[in-house]
Amino acid sequence: MATFRKRTDKWQARVQRTGQSPLAKSFNTKAEAIKWARHTESQLDLGTLAPKAAMPPLMRIVDRYLAEVTPTKKGSKQELNRGRQIARTALGPMQLDKITSEVVSKYRDGRLREVSNNTVRLELAFISVVFEQCAKEWWSMSTILTARRQLSWPVEAGNELDWLLS
C-alpha cells in the first residue's frame, strides 16, 4: 500500500510491504509520486524489485548451489572447485542486484589475462547456471536473468562471433 504526504514543497511517496523495509521517494508533484508508487508496487508484486536487504551476495548463492545442486551432478568435483574459485573473486561478496553485465564483463576480461578461454567459458557457464537456478527456484528476479542474458562468451582464436548466453 502506498501512502503520500506533503513535506514542505514536495510530495513524498512511501511503499511498504509486510516483511520488507519501506521504499520512499520525494517528488515535485503528487502525480509523479502516484506514478512512481504504482510502478514500484507492480515491480514488488512481480518480484522484479527486491529490497536491498533481501538481495543476497553471490557467495551465499554459490554456496547454496554447491550444497544442493552440485552433488547430484556427474562432474561435481570440478564444479565444486569452480564454484569455490568464483566465490573467492571480487564477484563473491557482491549483492546479486549489483552484478551487471558490465561487472561480469570486467571479470571475464581480467580472467582472460590469467587463464585460457575455455576456463573462462566454463566459469561464465557456471555463473549462468547459478543465476538461472536462483531465479527459477529461490528468488523470482528478472534482473538476474537480464544480466545473465547480456553476457558474452570469450572469443576463441579464429572465431569472430560473440556467442550470447541464452
Q: Give the pLDDT confidence of 53-80 residue by residue, as tens digits.
A: 567 888 888 898 899 888 888 888 988 9
Cell of residue 63, nine digits:
554456496
C-beta neighbour count of 97 within 10 angstroms: 17
Q: Are residues 127 and 92 in the same domain?
A: yes
The answer as to whether 139 is a domain residue is yes
The whole-angstrom distance between residue 97's C-alpha and the CA centroid of its chain comes to 4
> Are 83 and 18 within one domain?
no
Q: Report residue 66: phi and psi, to 5°.
A: -65, -30
Is the pLDDT confidence value at 35 over 90? yes
Please, which pLDDT band fits residue 158 given cuts at 50, 70 and 90? very low
> Residue 159 to residues 43, 112, 116, 127: CA-CA distances in angstroms?
40, 16, 15, 23
**Amino acid identity at 92:** G
* In a shared domain, residues 142 and 91: yes
Lookup: cell for 74: 556427474
> pLDDT value at position 149?
53
Ranges 26-30, 36-40, 97-101, 141-145: which has the least confidence: 141-145
Kindly report the average pLDDT of the chain as a whole number.
79
Give the C-alpha separation, 130 to 125, whole Å: 9
Cell of 122: 566454463
User: Looking at the predicted structure, is the pLDDT value of residue 52 above 80?
Assistant: no
Residues 10, 71 within the same domain:
no
Does the structure show a pLDDT above 60 at 126?
A: yes
> How many domains is the chain partitioned into structurally?
2
Please give the Cα distance from 166 to 36 (Å, whole number): 32
What is the Cα–Cα distance from 39 to 53, expressed in whole angstroms?
20
Q: How many whole angstroms separate alpha carbon 103 and alpha carbon 95?
A: 12
Same-domain status, 38 and 93: no
Share of the chain above pLDDT 90, in %: 13
Residue 156 placed within a domain: no
- 61 alpha-carbon distance from chain centroid: 10
pLDDT band at residue 50 using 50, 70 and 90 as cut-offs: low
Q: Which helix (H) or strand (E) holds 126?
A: helix 117-133
| pLDDT-based confidence at residue 97 (cuts at 50, 70, 90) | confident
Residues 44, 73: one domain? no
pLDDT at position 89 is: 86
- Which amino acid does the sequence have at 157? A
Q: Are residues 30 and 106 in the same domain?
A: no
Number of Cβ atoms within 10 Å of the Cβ of 11: 19
- Has residue 155 got a pLDDT over 60? no
pLDDT value, residue 138: 72
Is the pLDDT reported for residue 141 higher than 70?
A: no
Domain limits at 99?
Answer: 55-149
